[in-house]
């Protein structure tokens, strides 16, 4: 990851542990994604709920890197909205 944005020179990691908040966002997004996948599998394929959740977890694995990046971007936007860098 770059230290600063090449376009606007925004410093990405303002302090140690800066992206801890992104972990909370990532957790929430992951939970919602897994629940939606499980609901679709339960409703469309008529799997038992426990099997639908297991399959949803398996199907979720390829989305982890993208979700992590999305959570970091959302965290930076939230942080800049609440406490802009001068």
The predicted pLDDT at position 51 comes to 95
Tens place of pLDDT per residue across the chain (86 aa)? 677 888 887 777 677 778 888 999 999 999 999 999 999 999 999 999 999 999 999 999 999 999 999 999 999 899 889 888 76
Cα gap 59→37, rounded to integer Å? 8
Predicted local confidence at residue 57, as pLDDT: 97
Q: Residue 34 in contact with residue 42, Cβ under 8 Å?
A: no
Cα separation, 54 vs 62, whole angstroms: 14
């Amino acid at each position: 990851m770059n230290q600063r944005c090449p376009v606007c020179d925004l410093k990405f990691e303002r302090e140690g542990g800066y992206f801890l908040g992104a972990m909370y966002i990532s957790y929430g997004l992951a939970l919602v994604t897994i629940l939606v996948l499980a609901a679709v599998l339960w409703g469309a394929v008529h799997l038992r709920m426990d099997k639908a959740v297991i399959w949803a977890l398996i199907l979720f694995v390829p989305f982890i890197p993208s979700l992590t990046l999305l959570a970091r971007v959302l965290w930076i936007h939230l942080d800049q909205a609440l406490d802009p860098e001068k």
